[in-house]
Amino acid sequence: MKSRAKAIAIFFAAFATLLIFDHWPYLKLPFFWDELGQFVPASLDLYQSGAWVAKSTLPNVHPPGVMAYLALVWRIFGFSIPATRVAMLIFASCGVLFSFLLAIRLCRKTAGAPAFAAVIFLLATPMFYTQSMMAQLDMPAMTLTALALLLFLDDRFAWCAVACSALVLVKETGISTPFVFAAWLWLREKKRREALYFLAPAIALAAWLLVLRHATGHWLGNEEFAKYNVGDSLKPAHILGTLERRFYFLFISDGLWIGAITLFIGARLLRGREWSIAFLTGGAQILLVSVFGGASLDRYATPVFPILYAAIAAAGSVYPRSWRWATQGAMTFGLLLGLFWNPPYPFSYENNLAMTDFVALQRDAASWLEAWAPGKRVASSWPFTDAVQRPEMGYIHRPMNVQAAPDFRLESLAGLNLRRVDVLVVFSKTWEPEGFLDWDWFHRYLRRNWGFHRQATSEEIRRGLGFHPVMKITRRGQWIEIYLPDRRREL
């Protein structure tokens, strides 16, 4: 027992060292997108004033588990961006460890060393690389899902229920996992008393919803969030489009098509109680985040990575050794390439290192404004407007006076009080590869199902709003542009 604990500690230390060293260039990276818009402000509210329901940002249904974790870290080490990044990397290291142990458990009857391959796949995944350092919910949800599944397969049901309770207090969609466990015990194994343990996560989530309802008057925190993530997402076309997106992300993108072929060929090896429970857990999670969630972000699929990669690694043992190494090496290369290569279609910047380019552009523009337009009135759209209002997010030293447009359509910009705007900042809010959106059918599909709209061009802004560009910064296909009104040629 002591030797096993020592081995686990050694593996954890190795994973943590590797992750922190691998992310060293980004430990001071300013907060990105939902970090600065939701999760870090909510964590600061808890850290600074003990508010479990966010006050400095719009509250929503997301439970306070990660926020409480960060508040505790800041209480010990003080608030800073590096402390936050390292705290999340430590959490991610636990996720790699639990994924490794889960792969060992699932693949113990499989030839070769599939658990190591599963970990290599996870570490090479672009989404895991970015999420592992970000103050968001999906990587912690992955960590706790892997832990809960590992405990369940070991028949440690009471501890599994505790892990599931922590899971649903990190992300509400984690409720699908204890539901699967309870249903399996109740219907398949007739262990009714043990199945009742999994009422605990439902009670924990219900308690949070009651707190949220009492504080905000809404079960999901605010009406807009409920409409976007529940009401609008329940449309059949949206659900179908999301499922298609999940399939592409998990089985085709970044070399994963190689793993999908391996799964098809080696499916006969993935049978029995343990694989059935694992696949039900992953499938329930994918189904839940495909039915609910207006944005349908790819990161919502992060919790299934440990199951998917263990399955691909185990199925690979159907190949001869040389073929197994070749396919696993090719898939790993494809995943690593995806970290740096931006696809020729719209995608979320957080899916790979495009997020660091986005942050660098926003930081450069904010620095320019601080140097050349101090005290001026700035108009832009979120998240830049939040970035230049909160110095703790890492972009500026003093808050700026801003007006926020909902997006960069010409009609949205025209709706601002332009007489009170000294500087307009426009940036590539979405990835738009040149020529791809010229396909009218695709543009209509994106607009109808994902709310996508083309941004105003520089010429439209000049002619329609009377602003002219004075500076444009580009970085690997992304850009940010600063405009001045024609009535004010110099600052």
| DSSP one-letter string for 264-317 | HHTGGGS-SHHHHHHHHHHHHHHHHHHHS-SS--GGGGGGGHHHHHHHHHHHGG
In this prediction, what percent of the chain has a pLDDT beyond 90?
85
236 pLDDT higher than 90: no
Give yes or no for a contact between 233 and 291, defined as CB atoms under 8 angstroms apart: yes
Distance of CA 289 to the CA centre of its chain: 12
Which of the 8 DSSP states describes residue 61?
S
Rounded mean pLDDT of 206-230? 91
pLDDT at 234: 84
Q: Domain extents for the chain?
A: 2-341, 351-485
Q: What are phi and psi of 471, to 5 degrees?
A: -160, 140
* Residue 295 pLDDT level (bands cut at 50, 70, 90): confident
pLDDT at 16: 98
Strand order in the sheet with 478-485: 401-405, 377-381, 423-427, 478-485, 467-475
pLDDT at 296: 85
Pairing of strands 423-427, 377-381: parallel
- Joined together, the tokens standing for residue 399 give 């808050």
pLDDT tens-digit readout, 388-408? 999 999 999 999 999 999 999
Quote the CA–CA distance of 286 and 305 in Å, as a whole number.
11
- Cβ count within 10 A of residue 479: 14
pLDDT at 478: 96
* Cα-based distances in Å from 141 to 42, 80, 158, 218: 18, 23, 19, 24
pTM, to two decimals: 0.94
Which of the 8 DSSP states describes residue 436?
G
Rounded mean pLDDT of 31-60? 96
Rg (the chain; Cα; Å): 24
Q: Which one-letter amino acid corresponds to residue 391?
A: P
Q: Which one-letter amino acid corresponds to residue 377?
A: R
User: Mean pLDDT across the chain, nearest whole number?
Assistant: 93
Question: Domain 351-485 falls in which CATH fold?
Answer: Rossmann fold (3.40.50)
Pairing of strands 377-381, 401-405: parallel
pLDDT at 351: 97
Quote the CA–CA distance of 225 and 235 in Å, as a whole number.
16
Spatial CB neighbours of 24, under 8 Å, sequence gap ≥ 6: none
pLDDT at 281: 98
Quote the CA–CA distance of 340 and 354 in Å, as a whole number.
8
* Residue 434 pLDDT level (bands cut at 50, 70, 90): low
Q: Which of 472, 488, 342, 481 is nearest to 424 (CA)?
A: 481
- Joined together, the tokens standing for residue 24 give 């060293």
Counts for the chain of helices (H) and strands (E), in that order: 23, 5
Spatial CB neighbours of 364, under 8 Å, sequence gap ≥ 6: 473, 480
End-to-end CA, the chain: 70
* Residue 442 pLDDT level (bands cut at 50, 70, 90): low
